[in-house]
Amino acid sequence: MDHAKLERHGVAFAFAILGVASLGGLFEIAPLFTIENTVERVQGMRPYTPLELAGRDIYVREGCYACHSQMIRTLRSDVERYGHFSLAAESMYDHPHQWGSKRTGPDLARIGGKYSDDWHVAHLSAPRDTVPGSVMPGYGFLAEARLNTETLPQSLAALARIGVPYTSEQITGAARDAVRQADAEAEYEDDLWDSYGHTVQIRDFDGDPDRLTEMDALVAYLQMLGSLVDLENLRLEDLNQ
């Protein structure tokens, strides 16, 4: 019996195990070699602005992904409730992605623009005041915490090293751009729009224009989610490439 032969030859058996186990690895890694074909070429996707990125880091820091997914599946129930199904392109600048595998709260892939800034601030501060029965913890401290913008250039630089197309100007100006995005009074709209595109929302997000807080960053991030790609002019043919 072949099996018996294999078991009696230690070295050959070790190689056989190696061969079979690496098949598993191969099947996981192989799709990454074709990632160019997986990520759709769509209009509107852009790297996150420094303020949005800071908000994303807070989102990850607070573990929001443990209860909220950011992936609308190709199921009718998902699409009717949350909007157009998610595209690979929409997480192309996410390192790591926030798809999630658990929905204790709703999916957030297209939460941007669904509610007002005021609601986000009120809800994050005291979830049960706006949504009775919610089990979400309160994050009121974000409105008190000044946003640390000092590390933003390094954050952008790190992402640039793994392929997010930030320019060196964007990297060096990251802290300044974060402040400007939350300051609707200042006349920097054109600078930000020239640099990041016209989907950048510029205003005071947390209702306190005097300070740049972590709440500003998180709300800016949430209000951007799912709103970048031009879904209106999206054709299915473009997705299959």
Chain residues binding another protein by CB under 8 A are 4, 30-31, 33-34, 37-38, 74-76, 79-81, 83, 85, 113-119, 122-123, 129-132, 201, 207, 210, 236, 239-241
Toward another protein, which CB reaches closer, 117 or 214? Answer: 117
Considering the complex, what minimum distance in angstroms separates the CB of residue 178 from another protein? 21
Toward another protein, which CB reaches closer, 34 or 101? Answer: 34
Toward another protein, which CB reaches closer, 50 or 112? Answer: 112
For residues 48 and 93, is the Cβ–Cβ distance under 8 A? yes
Considering the complex, what minimum distance in angstroms separates the CB of residue 136 from another protein? 12
CA distance 71 to 109: 6
Toward another protein, which CB reaches closer, 92 or 111? Answer: 111
Q: Is 59 helix (H, G, I), strand (E, B) or coil?
A: helix
Toward another protein, which CB reaches closer, 34 or 150? Answer: 34
E strands in the chain: none
CA distance 166 to 18: 41
Considering the complex, what minimum distance in angstroms separates the CB of residue 31 from another protein? 5
Question: What is the DSSP code (8-state) at residue 213?
Answer: B
E strand or H helix at 37: helix 35-38
Go through the chain and tell me how many residues it has. 241
Axis-axis angle for helices 152-161, 174-181 (nearest 10): 110
CA distance 52 to 38: 25
Considering the complex, what minimum distance in angstroms separates the CB of residue 143 from another protein? 14
Considering the complex, what minimum distance in angstroms separates the CB of residue 188 from another protein? 18
